[in-house]
Structure 1
Amino acid sequence: MLTSNGYVLDERRLGELVPVPEEERGDREVLRSRLQRDGYLFLTGLLEPAAVWAFREYYFGLTGAAADRASYRKVLFEEIVPGPEYAAFCAQPALKGWFAWFLGGEPFLHRRKIIRQTAPGENGIGTATQAHYDLVYLREGSDQVLSAWIPLGDCPVSLGGLTYLQSSHHRVLAEEAAGRLKRPAASITADLPALAEEYDADWLVADYQAGDVVVHTAHTIHAALDNVSSELRLSTDIRYQLADDAIDARWQNHWHDQDGL
């Protein structure tokens, strides 16, 4: 049984996130068409697993000694988030180089990069990322920003990784163009089952492994599942775009959970 913020997902509204086939991985135009069609690219094994595990070890090496919430926040926001190790991980050649190739120009990495840690048993409204699309947070720049969600370690469905609402970006694009979506909007809903019915679409899930990356558009609706395992789930989400496109200045400071975005 899968849940998100305590809501039980309807098994009839569940599907699988489809990885990009190996034979398509080197064809940029095919990948661009696939992204336009599906709203996401599930790139299995894009990163070296060793690099992912090394950063995970670094993270827990610093946070593991935190005795309380205040100590954890100090380490996270004063050491890890602005630190060179995190910057290097997010701009590693396998990642930055892929975006340079895919975008066809100089890639720009937004400084506001987010690390999410979810403990087992955390559920109820507000614990898992609610359904949203990223453009609602990035309106002061290009709408061609691409997000990369990266599990920092193996992340089977039970750990509560990201789930994507099938083909949702097409409706979001149409409603954005028609001006029917409320602004500003932080999230759409925590009720994923109801949203699946409204959109007549499935929530797509996957068992992620260290080294996997999911790239999605700024219009693709996604959310997080609850962690129903016995382990911590760790992930990061970062954003790349062409350096020549308009950049949202609000995202050029290091992430803090009190930054208002």
Structure 2
Amino acid sequence: MLTSNGYVLDQSPQRLGELAVVPDRERTELPRLRDRLRRDGYLFLTGLLDPVVVQDFRRYYFGLTGAAPDRASYRKVLFDQVVPGPEYAAFCAQPAIKGWFQWFLGGEPFLHKRKIIRQTAPGENGIGTATQAHYDLVYLRGGSDQVLSAWIPLGDCAVARGGLTYLEGSHQRVLEEEAAGRLKRPAASMTADLPGLADEYDARWLVTDYAAGDLVIHTAHTIHAALDNVSDGIRLSTDIRYQRSDDAIDGRWQNHWHDQDGL
């Protein structure tokens, strides 16, 4: 049984599907890759990163946060050491990531300073635990709508561990409604009710088992959310955002992430 914020997902073939991997034959063909992103709203790139690098960062993270005796101590380590630290900056700008964006964007890539790390322990559920359904543009309206997000599992992340899920084809409807001025959502999640949203869009939630080294790129219009962690391990991930440096940049995202930063 798959849940998100306690809501049970409809697992019928009409409402649940598999995230599509970019085939090897397309990964070096820029026009086809850009077409795929326009069509699907995401690019699932397996093994793009060295899994050793991913696991090393995971060990670094838990080496600092794992000794925290309480929530307050954990938050201090996270926001004072990990988030602004050189190790996290180096991980997010490693050549395998920054170089890929430079190639794909066809220009100098710009990494937003506000980079987010999410940790979910087994059994944490209920409203507000898992990332609720949203699309990123509502949080990034101060800049280009061509900003791309990269979601990176920091370690293996099977479906049961609560990885990211995408609402199939949702970016097409969002693009149309944004362009028509019918959809001017505030900077907030759409809903925690993933099965209800799938019915509204008559679409499937797409899921998969992620491995260390995998990465998913998605557009600012693609609706996504996270599942509850019903495994026996901790789910750790980071989401970061790149765009061309010569496009408009949202200045609010140029400070280190903090859960009290109001964004």
Q: CA deviation at 1:178?
A: 1.4
Q: CA deviation at 1:222?
A: 0.1
Quote the residue 2:179 is aligned against.
177
Quote the residue 1:22 is aligned against.
24
Helix, strand or coil for the counterpart of 2:21?
coil
Q: CA deviation at 1:126?
A: 0.6
Quote the residue 1:197 is aligned against.
199
1:79-123 alpha-carbon deviations (Å, 9 max, x no partner): 000000000000000000000000000000000000000011111
Q: CA deviation at 1:197?
A: 0.5
Paired amino acid for 1:120? P
2:148 equivalent among 146, 149, 156: 146
Q: CA deviation at 1:179?
A: 1.4
Quote the residue 1:62 is aligned against.
64
1:212 equivalent among 206, 211, 214: 214
Q: CA deviation at 1:185?
A: 3.6
Q: Does 1:51 pair with 2:69?
A: no
Q: Which runs of 4+ in 1 moved over 4 A?
A: none
Q: How does 1:203-242 map to 2 (within 5 A)?
A: 203-242=205-244
Paired amino acid for 1:181? L
Distance 1:105 1:182, change over 3 A: closer
Distance in structure 2 (CA, Å) of the matches to 1:128 and 1:50:
27
Q: Work out whether residues 178 and 184 of structure 2, in 8 Å CA contact, stay in contact via their aligned partners in 1.
A: no
Quote the residue 1:11 is aligned against.
11
Helix, strand or coil for the counterpart of 2:156?
coil
Alignment gaps of 5+ in structure 2 = none
Distance in structure 2 (CA, Å) of the matches to 1:142 and 1:219:
12
Paired amino acid for 2:150? A
Quote the residue 1:85 is aligned against.
87
Q: Does 1:155 pair with 2:173?
A: no
Q: CA deviation at 1:208?
A: 0.1
Distance in structure 1 (CA, Å) of the matches to 2:112 and 2:220:
14
What is the RMSD of the two structures over their aligned residues, measured on CA atoms?
A: 0.5
The TM-score with structure 1 as length reference comes to 0.99
When the two structures are aligned, how many residues end up with a matched partner?
A: 261
Distance in structure 1 (CA, Å) of the matches to 2:184 and 2:33:
31
Q: CA deviation at 1:181?
A: 1.7
Q: CA deviation at 1:180?
A: 1.4
Helix, strand or coil for the counterpart of 2:103?
helix
Alignment gaps of 5+ in structure 1 = none
Distance in structure 2 (CA, Å) of the matches to 1:194 and 1:164:
14
Q: CA deviation at 1:183?
A: 3.3
Distance in structure 2 (CA, Å) of the matches to 1:230 and 1:179:
45
Quote the residue 1:121 is aligned against.
123
Q: CA deviation at 1:182?
A: 3.7
Quote the residue 1:246 is aligned against.
248
